[in-house]
Structure 1
Amino acid sequence: MIPAADASLGGYQDQIAGVLEKLRDERVVERMWEGDHTVWGPEPEEIADRLGWLESPSVMRDHLDEISALVESVRSEGYTQAVLLGMGGSSLAPEVFRRVFGVADGYLELSILDSTDPEAVLECAEGLDPGRTLFIVSTKSGGTVETFSFFKYFYNLLSEKLGEDRTPEHFVAITDPDSGLQDTAEKYGFRATFLNDPNIGGRYSALSHFGLVPAALIGVDLSRLLDGASEMARACAGEGEPGENPGAWLGVVIATLANAGRDKLTLTAEPDFEPMGVWIEQLIAESTGKDGKGILPVEGEPLGEPGSYGNDRLFTYTGEESSSSDSVAARVERLAQAGQPLVRIGAREPYQIGGEMFRWMVAVAVAGRLIGINPFDQPNVESAKAQARKMVSEYQESGELPEPEPTVEGSGLAAYAPESAASPEEALQSFLERARSGDYIMLQAYLPPSEGTTDTLQDLRARLRDRLGIATNMGYGPRFLHSTGQLHKGDGGNGLFLQLTADHPRDADIPDEAGSPEASLTFGVLIEAQALGDRQALLDANRRVMRLHMSDGVEKTLDRLARGI
């Protein structure tokens, strides 16, 4: 059964009705299902070859036996852990499935490595039983620098522990045909290689091999998951009125309100569905943040009282409403009563998540049409990568990264600010004064991910929102570069970016080649180069950026900064 959706939209309802009528007259949904690239642009490149996701719920059924064979073989051989090495579209759906479904009895405990911080890599390695661990090397392009760095590190680690003869059987690949990863998997003799439909973009790949192979390893019933997705696909097909199409209706609401200035799409959900937010975040940010436009997905921001928000929000709520006065549902209803527009999606049980993913993909594709962008390309993603490669090249030539001089230092902080200040704290206050109505602030945490750090960053977010009255985002680097990074450089320039970095007490070598002891780079250098490269790409795009480097304990320093807001 498809979860019902409704909305409290106030004065926007008439506009939405008009857009739905236009969508029907122009046959937008029908043309999308027909593969008509002119829905989004005059040229077919990165449109016509990006619509394979529409068929994923049916096509993937033909691959379930192949996936099941892998799962049963590793279970029978005593594997108990799986580590997914991937970024963005390769890692977010598996993370959602792991958090929503947990691990069924007798299946593999799945962890995701999508941080190049050396502490994150070392902690992952230290928590493994190498002889019982399967590594999933996952990248659509087949050449993602983070993914290959992880692969080389863990290939060498297993070779030391298990011997080179046994190591290849601990690796599987998920990639597109004819990619560099396919070649690598053949060269090293991986246990299995799953070749995905190349007509599916990374952020639209949740219901393809990229999402389903890891899901199967934790014991998710793939047939049941695809049943929900197939039901939603039928409801979203190009027949009937757009207002009765779950995905098209949601897309019209999102785009209509964004075009009216409510471009901060704030995601709320009950605990069963809250994990889906990180996947929706990437889908929206990379799909809509370009050409000077953008819908900002606000994921994970602590809920506030009505007075905490401006008039640039649209809220969504997913879950089953509760009678508790302190439930998520009750709190967002108070926002609706105060005049904030709210979309409600009444999902009730975890296996509806497959359908919800399909609903959101259709919605974002339709929204792209209505705000006037191509939702399938990512023209600004390369800018930070190119700058990071430049930083790495300079390091390999000189032995040092091209670090700028700090503006001011003190109390375990170094500030790299747009203007002079007497202290890092004063520099931060001056930077925050640059915020304007309708802006957002992004905390770019190039830090080791941890529960304590996340909690402190969330507190900082809430304080910034309440003080400045603007939306907030937070992401660990370089993970967010594969999620919201496109929007940061491609939208209308209404973001403030607070980059947070820290010293690395420990580091780990990145082998130049899997199986070789030679290493000319470390994970510590790589993440520093990525932070420097991202900062430079933002400056080149005329964004407002400030960096704070911490040398006196991350959580302690973040807490001090939060209390000073």
Structure 2
Amino acid sequence: MSFNLGPYGESVDHALAEMKVHDIMGRIWSRDHTVWKQDPTEITNRLGWLRVVEVMKDSINRLVSFTAKIRSEGFTHVILLGMGGSSLAPEVFSRTFHVREGYPKLFVLDSTDPDAVSYYADYFNPERTLFIISTKSGGTIETLSFLKFFYNRMVNTVGGDRAGEHFIAITDPGSSLADVAERHRFRSVFLNDPEIGGRYAALSYVGLVPAALIGVDLGKLLNRVGEMMANCRPANDPAGENNSGARLGAVLGELSKSGRDKVTIFGSPAIESFSDWVEQLIAESTGKEGKGILPVVGESAGAPEHYGNDRLFVYLRLGDDDTYTDLCNDLVHAGHPLVVITLEDEYDLGKQFFLWEMAAAVACHRLHVNPFDQPDVESSKILARRMVAEFKEKGSLPDEPPSLTDDGMMVFGTAQSDKAEKVLTDFIERNVKPGSYVAFQAYVKPEPATYAALQSLRVAIRDRYQVATTFGYGPRFLHSTGQLHKGDGGGGVFVQITSENVRYVSIPDGMEKSTSSMSFGVLKMAQALGDRQALLDAGRNVIRLHMIKDVIGGVNRLSGAIKSS
């Protein structure tokens, strides 16, 4: 790990010296909640990740035996149903390690878009598919909706007596999901350590069950984790050059306080999905009490002059990959701070999971926030539940007339033009200022063409206004960056993009129930409307653009308007 911090190096060294005097690393390892807050609530019971290797090494034999059984019974596909911390680490393993010959392929569903749900329902042979239902709380509405939908389909395919053989659960002891799994005779239930929070759960059953199923060598992975844990212990270095977690955390925290609070991550193509996991960890851990570090991932590389002075760059480099080497040299030459982290191979991701967990905890110490709570997440959930309740009572979601309808696009927000694209440019120019960021929240079907169009729009705004841009599919991002959006200092400018649904997909009212009082499309829209209202209630600037027919064409119109403005 190398650092080019320029004038910021002195403040980082001062922070490390101060941490050494107060034995911060030693106190973290001894589970001292006062490192962050005087109140131990949601701290002392959230430090199980510090012992994850010793706990999970005892589970390797169980996971290997379980995987062998799944293979021997001819399962060819595994679909993980989950959100946020329950889905992001499995996605990293799936996209990085792919699948060993003879092992099932792993897919992750974390979108309530009905077209996405339909794809997973239609594409896979149910009799050869194993579903992982992953939610630590056991109550995540999206995950339980997925479960009811796919369980009912499985009952219709193989019968009620055999349906449970196609499902396993990963959850905390005593959760409602654990009860459901027992009642419906799931093949297996993996009870996670309840003292590990969702975003810190990558190396628990949450990540390792799906990793085992695609043939990842768990012993090798956990040995790498152990190496990083040893590096981060105070016995190695109380807080200094050789303690990677302390140093990276101090860099994140101190540069954030100096205005470099947009951590822009580039990753070698083979490991780029890891950035999505880091995004949730950093955003949800730090984004509260009017503070926050914004992770910027997936933003296309640009020339140094397109970046403002609020950026800290991180290059996650696999082996001798040089994809971003020239860019990094140019960024340093232009005066931007840079951290380069080199991974020997894919198994070094084990080190990286723990490194970033420790760094997030240290950064939150420097920012004086609790890394383990998420106080602003509930606001969106409450509003979404109200809208769902209204739908069930009245048969429709709360009605709000658009302020403008223009050529297949509806605008919800202030409109002082008769052209939707002009409304967007006016909105951005009115609200963007140095240090702002523009967040695109797309409640649409995740697919490559849509992603490419939205990436083009991101680049157009970044290059035109020199501000950071982020992108997330809804409701997935609610479990990742949603906390920061409402809990940080208020620099976000939010562009919601919603769309009509091609297909109607019902959510069953329960396990083995054919009745339905709501669809996935309604759930998705309720969450979009709920989060928009939560953002407005938090004083954020939000505009919603609803694509009536052509999502990609509409987004391309917006990009063209930004480029020509």
2:302 aligned to 291, 295, 304, which one? 304
Which residue pairs with 1:392 in the alignment? Answer: 388
Which residue pairs with 1:514 in the alignment? Answer: 511
* 1:422, distance to aligned residue in structure 2 (A): 1.9
Give me the whole-angstrom Cα distance separating, in 2, the residues matched to 1:18 and 1:319: 28
Which residue pairs with 1:451 in the alignment? Answer: 448
Which residue pairs with 1:550 in the alignment? Answer: 547
Give me the whole-angstrom Cα distance separating, in 1, the residues matched to 2:5 and 2:349: 25
Which residue pairs with 1:369 in the alignment? Answer: 365
2:59 aligned to 55, 58, 63, which one? 63
Q: Any idea what SS the aligned residue of 1:190 has?
A: coil
Q: Any idea what SS the aligned residue of 1:374 has?
A: coil
The correspondence of residues 396-407 of structure 1 with structure 2, limited to 5 A, is: 396-407=392-403
1:143 aligned to 120, 128, 139, which one? 139
2:74 is matched by which residue type in structure 1?
Answer: G
Q: Does 1:328 align with 2:303?
A: no
- 8 Å contact 1:318–1:345 — kept in the other structure? yes
The correspondence of residues 36-47 of structure 1 with structure 2, limited to 5 A, is: 36-47=32-43
Deviations 1:466-492 (A, max 9, x none): 111100000000000000000000001
Give me the whole-angstrom Cα distance separating, in 2, the residues matched to 1:527 and 1:131: 29
- 8 Å contact 2:131–2:167 — kept in the other structure? yes
Deviates more, 1:535-544 or 1:156-165: 156-165
Which residue pairs with 2:470 in the alignment? Answer: 473
Give me the whole-angstrom Cα distance separating, in 2, the residues matched to 1:66 and 1:515: 30
2:290 aligned to 289, 292, 314, which one? 292
Q: Does 1:172 align with 2:168?
A: yes
Deviates more, 1:329-338 or 1:538-547: 329-338
1:368 is matched by which residue type in structure 2?
Answer: C
Which residue pairs with 2:122 in the alignment? Answer: 126
Give me the whole-angstrom Cα distance separating, in 1, the residues matched to 2:414 and 2:479: 26
Q: Does 1:72 align with 2:72?
A: no
1:489 is matched by which residue type in structure 2?
Answer: K
Give me the whole-angstrom Cα distance separating, in 2, the residues matched to 1:447 and 1:440: 21
- 8 Å contact 1:452–1:555 — kept in the other structure? yes
The correspondence of residues 111-260 of structure 1 with structure 2, limited to 5 A, is: 111-239=107-235, 240-243=237-240, 244-260=242-258
* 1:320, distance to aligned residue in structure 2 (A): 4.6
* 1:421, distance to aligned residue in structure 2 (A): 2.6
- 8 Å contact 1:444–1:477 — kept in the other structure? yes
The correspondence of residues 263-302 of structure 1 with structure 2, limited to 5 A, is: 263-302=261-300
* 1:425, distance to aligned residue in structure 2 (A): 1.6
Q: Does 1:379 align with 2:375?
A: yes
2:500 aligned to 497, 500, 503, which one? 503
Deviates more, 1:62-71 or 1:126-135: 62-71
* 1:563, distance to aligned residue in structure 2 (A): 1.7
Deviations 1:390-418 (A, max 9, x none): 00011011101003111111110001123
The TM-score, its normalising length taken from structure 2, stands at 0.98
* 1:217, distance to aligned residue in structure 2 (A): 0.7
Deviates more, 1:283-292 or 1:428-437: 428-437
Aligned in 2, Cα 1:323/1:141: closer, same or farther, shift over 3 Å? Answer: closer
- 8 Å contact 2:319–2:343 — kept in the other structure? no
RMSD value over aligned CA atoms? 1.0
Give me the whole-angstrom Cα distance separating, in 2, the residues matched to 1:421 and 1:53: 52
- 8 Å contact 1:99–1:275 — kept in the other structure? yes
Aligned in 2, Cα 1:86/1:44: closer, same or farther, shift over 3 Å? Answer: same
- 8 Å contact 1:385–1:533 — kept in the other structure? yes
Give me the whole-angstrom Cα distance separating, in 1, the residues matched to 2:57 and 2:213: 16
2:88 is matched by which residue type in structure 1?
Answer: L
Deviates more, 1:237-246 or 1:516-525: 237-246
1:369 is matched by which residue type in structure 2?
Answer: H
* 1:419, distance to aligned residue in structure 2 (A): 4.3
Q: Any idea what SS the aligned residue of 1:318 has?
A: strand
Q: Any idea what SS the aligned residue of 2:510 has?
A: coil
Which residue pairs with 1:25 in the alignment? Answer: 21
Aligned in 2, Cα 1:323/1:246: closer, same or farther, shift over 3 Å? Answer: closer
Q: Any idea what SS the aligned residue of 1:224 has?
A: helix
* 1:560, distance to aligned residue in structure 2 (A): 1.8
The TM-score, its normalising length taken from structure 1, stands at 0.98
Q: Any idea what SS the aligned residue of 2:270 has?
A: coil
- 8 Å contact 1:407–1:421 — kept in the other structure? no
Q: Any idea what SS the aligned residue of 1:520 has?
A: strand
Give me the whole-angstrom Cα distance separating, in 2, the residues matched to 1:242 and 1:386: 41
Give me the whole-angstrom Cα distance separating, in 2, the residues matched to 1:531 and 1:124: 22
1:415 is matched by which residue type in structure 2?
Answer: V
- Runs of 5+ unmatched residues, structure 2: none
Q: Any idea what SS the aligned residue of 1:91 has?
A: helix
1:404 is matched by which residue type in structure 2?
Answer: E
The correspondence of residues 424-443 of structure 1 with structure 2, limited to 5 A, is: 424-433=420-429, 434-443=431-440
Give me the whole-angstrom Cα distance separating, in 1, the residues matched to 2:319 and 2:437: 29
2:556 aligned to 534, 538, 559, which one? 559
Give me the whole-angstrom Cα distance separating, in 1, the residues matched to 2:135 and 2:278: 19
Which residue pairs with 2:6 in the alignment? Answer: 10
Q: Does 1:95 align with 2:91?
A: yes
* 1:184, distance to aligned residue in structure 2 (A): 0.6
Give me the whole-angstrom Cα distance separating, in 2, the residues matched to 1:383 and 1:457: 27
* 1:26, distance to aligned residue in structure 2 (A): 0.6
2:283 is matched by which residue type in structure 1?
Answer: A
Q: Any idea what SS the aligned residue of 1:16 has?
A: helix
* 1:164, distance to aligned residue in structure 2 (A): 1.1
Deviates more, 1:334-343 or 1:63-72: 63-72
Identical columns (%): 50
Deviates more, 1:415-424 or 1:299-308: 415-424
Q: Any idea what SS the aligned residue of 1:166 has?
A: helix
Deviations 1:112-137 (A, max 9, x none): 01000100100111111100000000
Give me the whole-angstrom Cα distance separating, in 2, the residues matched to 1:423 and 1:502: 18
- 8 Å contact 2:103–2:214 — kept in the other structure? yes
- Runs of 5+ unmatched residues, structure 1: none
2:465 is matched by which residue type in structure 1?
Answer: L
Give me the whole-angstrom Cα distance separating, in 1, the residues matched to 2:375 and 2:110: 22
Give me the whole-angstrom Cα distance separating, in 1, the residues matched to 2:363 and 2:417: 43
Which residue pairs with 1:343 in the alignment? Answer: 339
2:234 is matched by which residue type in structure 1?
Answer: G
Equivalent pairs, count:
559
Give me the whole-angstrom Cα distance separating, in 2, the residues matched to 1:56 and 1:229: 9
Deviations 1:367-400 (A, max 9, x none): 0000110001000011111110000011011101
Deviates more, 1:238-247 or 1:415-424: 415-424
2:407 is matched by which residue type in structure 1?
Answer: S
Give me the whole-angstrom Cα distance separating, in 1, the residues matched to 2:419 and 2:307: 30
- 8 Å contact 1:417–1:431 — kept in the other structure? no
Which residue pairs with 1:262 in the alignment? Answer: 260
Give me the whole-angstrom Cα distance separating, in 2, the residues matched to 1:32 and 1:206: 19
Q: Any idea what SS the aligned residue of 1:48 has?
A: coil
